[in-house]
């Protein structure tokens, strides 16, 4: 049994969908960012980083979405969520996920969490103004060079698909024009119809 | 044969050391950031992201340090650079590397590359002032909760060790007081004596 600590409207949705795709047994624990529960002593004992997601496993606690997605795929190989026996293909998948984590998600975070890297309100406003450009550049690259289609890695659905879907939820709020990234938008629409995606979103808001 | 595109004083050093640790056949190609070669058409054809590292393999090109490190470890299992047959232990290693990539390296980048996320000189100055705090918080967490010792993951050397060593090179320039992170500093000193580390650094500056 896994316990996934999540918050609504965050990247934890990717791991949640992957758990459903894997057929893994799991329970959810919601962290309410509005109440700053991610900074509570109880949650910091689970994840001292004070962020989501975190996942309790029988072996210990895991954090960081790319690591968790690879773990889910490797732990449930029958679900075929990653090319776990092909180091190069697995690395291509991991490269995609690492880019989402360290470049796209980071660019997005500057719109609302500039306090991580600066102190002045004028800097936060500057970062907010820049988000359409910085986030947009990431999606342009994903559109033109990275998204193979129909799934992220080509013909096979992988854990990269729920991750891209999750971050693509936010692009309009970041000021990115959907019209310039038709393949990303088609992927998002297709994912939105995926039963496990609907189930994961319903669970997060019902919990 | 692998071809590693690198630049001096960048995170590409981690993959370079890992290639040596793996006993992998490789050649180096230096990208001169002073000449903005990372934005040249020739290099953008290799890596459209315009960053280093990038590694040409017989199967194709890989980017993103966490993915490359896992690939090197999985491709040369006899070198025992990662617990490749234990998904949980492998995920712990990947979680560490993902944190370095998406949190520590990102915090560091704000000291010199604020233009990625903002436009105003006042914002860049603000980010530079914040770097000791944001980078320092990462190293505090690594020191207190993440670095198991003597190696990052405990008794066994892994690809996380050259990655931490590489990013720890920059902490004084980021304004972090080494006295507050004695285990990180001891790890850095031990790594600096590692023959493959000395060889990698010598190769990068001789090239």
Percent of chain A whose pLDDT exceeds 70: 100
B-chain residues near A68 (CB < 8 A): 91, 95
Instruction: Specify the pLDDT at position B207.
Output: 66
Percent of chain A whose pLDDT exceeds 90: 99
Shortest distance between the Cα of B173 and any Cα of chain A, in A, equals 16
pLDDT band at A37 (very low <50, low <70, confident <90, very high): very high
Residue B64 has pLDDT above 90, yes or no: yes
Mean pLDDT of chain B: 97
ipTM: 0.98
pLDDT in tens, B136-152: 999 999 999 999 999 99
Instruction: Specify the pLDDT at position B47.
Output: 97
| Mean pLDDT to the nearest integer, A114-124 | 98
Q: Is B23 left (phi over 0), alpha (psi -120 to 50) or beta?
A: left
Instruction: Specify the pLDDT at position A170.
Output: 98
How many other C-beta atoms can be found within 10 angstroms of the C-beta atom of residue A192? Answer: 13
Contact B120 A123 (CB under 8 A): yes
| Mean pLDDT to the nearest integer, B102-115 | 98
pLDDT in tens, B72-97: 999 999 999 999 999 999 999 999 99
| Mean pLDDT to the nearest integer, B105-124 | 98
Shortest distance between the Cα of A32 and any Cα of chain B, in A, equals 22
pLDDT in tens, A63-82: 999 999 999 999 999 999 99
Closest CB from B95, B134, B144 relative to A64: B95
* Strand B2-6 to B26-30 pairing: parallel
Q: What are B73-81's contacts with CB under 8 Å, separation 24+?
A: B73/B18, B73/B22, B73/B158, B73/B159, B74/A87, B74/A90, B74/A91, B75/A87, B75/A88, B75/B22, B75/B24, B76/B22, B76/B23, B76/B24, B79/B21, B79/B22, B79/B23, B80/B156, B81/B18, B81/B21, B81/B22, B81/B157, B81/B158, B81/B159
A-chain residues near B98 (CB < 8 A): 64-67, 98, 101-102
A-chain residues near B75 (CB < 8 A): 87-88
For each of the domains in chain A, give its residue range(s) and CATH number, in order of start: 2-80+197-206 (3.40.30.10), 87-194 (1.20.1050.10)
B-chain residues near A95 (CB < 8 A): 62-64, 67-68
pLDDT in tens, B8-61: 999 999 999 999 999 999 999 999 999 999 999 999 999 999 999 999 999 999
| Mean pLDDT to the nearest integer, B161-177 | 98
Instruction: Specify the pLDDT at position A118.
Output: 98
Instruction: Specify the pLDDT at position A207.
Output: 66
The residues, ordered by sequence, that sit 6+ positions from B70 with a Cβ below 8 Å of its Cβ are: A90, A91, A94, B82, B90, B94, B97, B159
Shortest distance between the Cα of B187 and any Cα of chain A, in A, equals 22
Residue B162 has pLDDT above 90, yes or no: yes
Rounded CA separation A165/A184 (Å): 9
| Mean pLDDT to the nearest integer, B118-138 | 98
Query: If contacts are CB pairs under 8 Å, which of residues 27-56 in chain A contact chain B?
Result: 48-49
| The length of chain A, given as a count of residues | 207
pTM of the model: 0.98
């Amino acid at each position: 049994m896994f316990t996934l600590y999540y918050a609504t409207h965050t990247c934890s949705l990717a791991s949640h969908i992957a758990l459903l795709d894997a057929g893994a047994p799991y329970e959810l624990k919601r962290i309410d960012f509005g109440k700053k529960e991610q900074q509570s002593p109880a949650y910091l004992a689970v994840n001292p980083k004070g962020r989501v997601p975190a996942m309790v496993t029988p072996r210990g606690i895991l954090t960081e979405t790319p690591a968790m997605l690879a773990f889910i795929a490797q732990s449930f190989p029958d679900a075929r969520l990653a090319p776990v026996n092909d180091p190069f293909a697995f690395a291509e998948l991991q490269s995609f996920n690492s880019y989402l984590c360290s470049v796209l998600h980071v660019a997005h975070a500057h719109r609302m969490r500039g306090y991580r890297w600066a102190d002045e309100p004028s800097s936060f406003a500057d970062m907010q103004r820049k988000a359409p450009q910085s986030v947009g550049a990431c999606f342009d690259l994903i559109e033109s060079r990275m998204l193979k289609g129909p799934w992220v890695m080509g013909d096979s659905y992988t854990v990269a698909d729920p991750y891209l879907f999750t971050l693509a939820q936010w692009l309009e709020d970041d000021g990115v024009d959907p019209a310039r990234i038709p393949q990303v938008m088609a992927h998002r629409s297709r994912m939105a119809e995926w039963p496990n995606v609907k189930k994961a979103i319903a669970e997060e808001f019902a919990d």
